[in-house]
Amino acid sequence: MLKDWSEVYSIGIDEIDQQHRGFFNASHRLYQAILDREGRDGVIEAVGFMRHYAETHFQAEEAFMRAHAYPDLEAHLRQHGRFMRQLDALEGDLRTFGPSQQLADRALEMTQDWLIDHIADEDVLYALHVKSEDQSGQPRVTSRHPPIDPT
Ligand SMILES: [Fe+2]
């Protein structure tokens, strides 16, 4: 189901929130292109637009996390990498089988629904890290990993 951007998806960092809105739009454009059976060229073009948008957004997030010395950067980047590989696999199937309702649904799930989960599970963590840094006036190392028990 297509979902509109909502404030509940905001992580409180304007630049990133704007990009997430754009990510929703790219996702919906891709879904619609597959659903409308725009023809192979139109569909592949929509995949290309989604890929370009995701790459640009992920690069911006990576630069932001590096600038704030986010400790779980590597795990976060692995998720972005997984997303790009799934997009490649989707493009391969679109080229092989052509557009279908099934592939439209898969595209929406792996872009829009993925993003919603990714924001809630991952992006909020670096936002919290940055906010805690702002409050203390200096970088604070946080990690979701439990401390190692020395005993
Ligand atoms: Fe992210």
CA-nearest of 45, 71, 76 to 60 is 76
Residue 1 is classified by DSSP as: -
| pLDDT of res. 72 | 95
| pLDDT of res. 138 | 56
Q: Name, in order, each residue with C-beta under 8 angstroms of 3's C-beta and a sequence gap of 6 or more.
A: 24, 112, 116
Span 54-67, average pLDDT: 96
pLDDT tens digits for 99-133?
999 999 999 999 999 999 999 999 999 999 998 87
Around ion ligand 1, residues with a beta carbon closer than 5 Å are 61, 123
Span 77-106, average pLDDT: 96
pLDDT tens digits for 5-21?
999 999 999 999 999 99
| pLDDT of res. 137 | 58
Residue with the bigger pLDDT between 17 and 42: it is 17
What are the structure tokens assigned to 123, written together?
């992006």
What are the structure tokens assigned to 23, written together?
């990510």
Domains of the chain in sequence order: 15-136 (1.20.120.50)
* Centre of ligand 1 from the C-alpha of residue 105, in Å: 22
Residue with the bigger pLDDT between 151 and 91: it is 91
Pairwise CA distance, residues 29 & 39, whole Å: 14
| pLDDT of res. 141 | 46
* Centre of ligand 1 from the C-alpha of residue 10, in Å: 13
* Centre of ligand 1 from the C-alpha of residue 151, in Å: 35
Span 30-41, average pLDDT: 86
Span 24-48, average pLDDT: 91
* Centre of ligand 1 from the C-alpha of residue 94, in Å: 25
At 149, the pLDDT band (50, 70, 90 cuts) reads low
Q: With DSSP H G I counted as helix, E B as strand and the rest as coil, what are the percentages for the chain, rounded to 5?
A: 75, 0, 25
DSSP-based three-state secondary structure for 96:
helix
The amino acid at residue 3 is K
